[in-house]
Chain A
């Protein structure tokens, strides 16, 4: 499915909708909502995640101050930014030194540091879930879902997002699981409700799932890695030939640092260029699906 995924969050509307959903989920209040512009009031835990100022919080906590909650003013396009800055400036004139003035409205675009931190916060907070399909009651089949990334790395890398799941009743493994369930009506449920009647343990399921992840990787085309390995061998041969040629004119004593230098450079080359595949697990969830639709 990965090839079909349109890179998300590349339009201002998508980013606005993402922020609305994020700030609602973390309990921030939306104070102002105008076209492509929002003001959110941050709870302290979210403030600490999004704004890097540990010393400020140390001071606040040490002196037991009660402080006004931070309000983020976010514009999602240039027009909204200009409009809202003008409004704020009209309400309160800017400082007399034009270069000392901080922008009061932060622009959210892809790559802006604040938006990166919002994404990171969502990724951190959203790493685990337990949900069931439909309302309480009815028989459920428990699945364990693991989402993450396969990173194919040598001098450069390529990544592939995945969502694998394994059925805790029969250890059946399914690829592209999230894609199949994301539009279903799912709601939070205690994990114990889902695992109460499962036939297999989480431990066994995870072992089998890891095997499936390794199989996935093994089934991919190796050409990129073969090429990278060949280049690395070439580089290593060139490196050792170079140091070999220096040795002739050196005494035994002088050789020691030269050989150490060679070893260090060799290790660096391997670190840079050796092909490797890493499977990074980013999210896990337990998902109870209704029996009649158990086969996704």
Chain B
């Protein structure tokens, strides 16, 4: 088919330019005359079908979401509304900042599909964490029927259509140069909080890319400081928030406190959409959380007490010697997870120990730990697997606990696959696929969980508990999220008469409190760092004479205090 070069006609006094394109009319008629093409009866029938095809593809109005007719599922009302706002009001450059689990991917997919259907986007680049490349590609293909391909080598960048790639690959040579050489009709960046710093390669790469539309997806547009928001917005619309100095002058009272929140919110709403769970009827199936108390075996109990005694003496020593308590916090958390996990830390400490007394003490602890004949938590897991015949995901904080669980499950003939952050993309996909299709148990560590959706499973065991309530939420969010159709059953394994038991109790209280407080925080300051929280728990454990005092100390920690110490996020 010969195409006519765009022929511009004069429209100089009008606010638009005009061109005629498409078929080369004279050449086509020439073919009709001399070749005789198009003169059969069947040609007229095809002509009439051609009319229908073209009419079927028309975008009849500016403000209708055509993508809805083309996708394989029914999006939720807030997702449709968001996609429409992005294309109509925000004109294709936006930060999608929905809370975790509300479907930012769906919204971005709808926007991309809309532009594809309207013929406004032909080439698009989707930049995501390496672990999510396959998941994004699959979702775009299946849900949105978008012909997306995962980036494989340096030539993929030049491919037509939609390319899904890892941002870490894209920023490295030889890729960076090739990515920058392309024109992209649309760019989507998932986990865009990784662009919060303008001096990083991530940000600089994005700033160099030539594009029309851009979507930045993040649940936490601000993690630490207000200026991160400026950095993100500047990628989308340079000048929307002024230059860094103007932004600081106009909007920033202190790094975490906006000066004129109403004005900032107003300005931000021109580039950012944030849906929150509490806003709409975004009801998820019920979540049943139960605490399963586990009684330590006598040998485990003895080992636990011995480690506690060791920790206390080490803590006292660190107070006078002013050494870091971080390794101690780790050991305390590990001993709550499993004796097995603690053993690895003890061995590391032993290797570094110079004081012979300390080395002897560590050596005897290790011997005590390795001689434990059975583990109460593992027995509890096996019992639960017997009782509930469905697919189940087991979360633990530690590799050692994960390895031990895998080993035990295998020994008992229970099919299980591991999952962790360090796996390559393909391996993660394979594990997820195996788990969804034929394997009964997935044993995951925290770091492997980010962004992976496991809605097909609705049972979870928390083998140990993170001390940070937000992390617990993230774990549960892997299965209890939009798309989940069953009630979710979550069991927390908690060993009796250990600090874990008390932490559990307080943690649940704190989760509710955090929700309440974060609900009251400025919309855009969504994430509060809780490093201090872990330290406070440990200090409380080390300095209390008994359980009662420990609980009192824990309860006295105020969420507000933690936040004030981190820079005083504004509360309304």
Contact = CB atoms under 8 A, between A and B. Distances in A.
Report if A and B associate in a common complex. Answer: yes
Nearest to B118: A157
Given A8-B55, A275-B15, A279-B21, A127 B50 contact: yes
B59 interface: yes
B39 A188 contact: yes
A222 B15 CA distance: 8
Nearest to B146: A113
A158 B44 contact: no
Interface in B171-214: 207-208, 210-213
Contact of A281 (B23, B210, B239): B23
Nearest to A52: B147
A210 B9 contact: yes
A139 interface: no
B14 A242 contact: no
A111 B71 contact: yes
Interface string B224-249: 00000000000001111011001000
Interface of A: 2, 5, 7-10, 18, 21-22, 24-26, 98-99, 110-113, 119-120, 122-131, 144, 146-149, 151-153, 155-161, 163, 178, 182, 186-192, 195, 202-203, 206, 210, 213-214, 217-218, 222, 224-226, 228-229, 231, 235, 238-239, 241-243, 245-246, 261, 264-265, 267-268, 271-286
Given A214-B18, A235-B237, A7 B50 contact: no
B388 interface: no
Given A125-B50, A127-B1, A239-B239, A279 B60 contact: no
A156 B118 contact: yes
Nearest to A147: B51
Contacts of B147: 113
Contacts of B42: 25-26, 188
B2 to A, nearest CB: 11
A14 to B, nearest CB: 9
Contacts of B52: 8-9, 18, 122
Given A125-B50, A130-B38, 12 more contacts: A9-B53, A110-B56, A122-B50, A126-B53, A128-B37, A156-B88, A159-B60, A186-B44, A191-B29, A214-B11, A238-B239, A274-B17
Interface string B59-70: 111110000011
Contacts of B1: 124, 127
Nearest to B438: A99
B265 interface: no
8 contacts: A7-B55, A153-B120, A191-B29, A192-B33, A225-B14, A242-B242, A261-B208, A272-B212
Nearest to B29: A202
A283 B207 CA distance: 42
Given A119-B53, A239-B239, A265-B238, A182 B48 contact: yes
A215 to B, nearest CB: 10
Contacts of B91: 155-156, 231, 272-273
A128 B14 contact: no
B213 A272 contact: yes
Contacts of B49: 18, 21-22, 25, 122, 126
A11 B35 CA distance: 38
Contacts of A284: 23, 25, 28-29, 32
Interface centre among A2, A272, A279 (most CB of B within 10 A): A272
B260 interface: no
Contacts of B43: 125-126, 128-130, 188
B413 interface: no
A276 B18 contact: yes
B69 A111 contact: yes
Contacts of B211: 268
Nearest to B17: A276
B83 interface: no
A217 B16 CA distance: 10
B47 interface: yes
B46 A122 contact: yes
Given A153-B120, A157-B120, A191-B29, A280 B212 contact: no
Contact of B243 (A159, A245, A261): A245
Pairs A-B, 9 closest by C-beta atoms: A126-B50, A242-B239, A111-B70, A126-B46, A281-B22, A128-B38, A119-B53, A272-B212, A155-B91
B145 A113 contact: yes
A272 B93 CA distance: 10
A264 B210 contact: yes
Given A238-B237, A273-B91, A281-B4, A123 B53 contact: yes
Contacts of A147: 51, 54
A231 B240 CA distance: 13
B45 interface: yes
A161 B212 contact: no
A191 B41 CA distance: 13
A281 B25 contact: yes
A282 B22 contact: yes
A156 B29 contact: no
A282 B41 contact: no
B275 to A, nearest CB: 22
A188 B41 contact: yes
B103 interface: no
B437 interface: yes
A5 B243 CA distance: 50
B9 A122 contact: no
A127 B61 contact: no
A129 B15 CA distance: 36
A268 B26 contact: no
B15 A226 contact: yes
A163 B208 CA distance: 43
Contact of A159 (B15, B26, B46, B59): B59
Contacts of A278: 6, 18-21
Interface string B132-158: 000000000000010100000000000
Contacts of B60: 2, 7, 158-160
B33 A189 contact: no
A130 B70 CA distance: 34
Interface in B473-530: none
Contacts of A124: 1, 50
Contacts of B119: 151, 157
Interface string B403-447: 000000000000000000000000000000100010000000000
Interface centre among B14, B32, B50, B59 (most CB of A within 10 A): B50
A240 to B, nearest CB: 8
B55 A5 contact: yes
Contacts of A144: 29
Nearest to A156: B62
Contacts of B61: 158
B179 to A, nearest CB: 14
Interface centre among B25, B31, B59, B211 (most CB of A within 10 A): B25
B62 A157 contact: yes
B354 interface: no
B162 to A, nearest CB: 13
B360 to A, nearest CB: 56
Contacts of B58: 2, 5, 7, 149, 159-161
A163 B50 CA distance: 13
Contacts of A281: 4, 20-23, 25
A63 B503 CA distance: 71
B116 to A, nearest CB: 11
A7 B28 contact: no
B47 A285 contact: yes
A23 B154 CA distance: 40
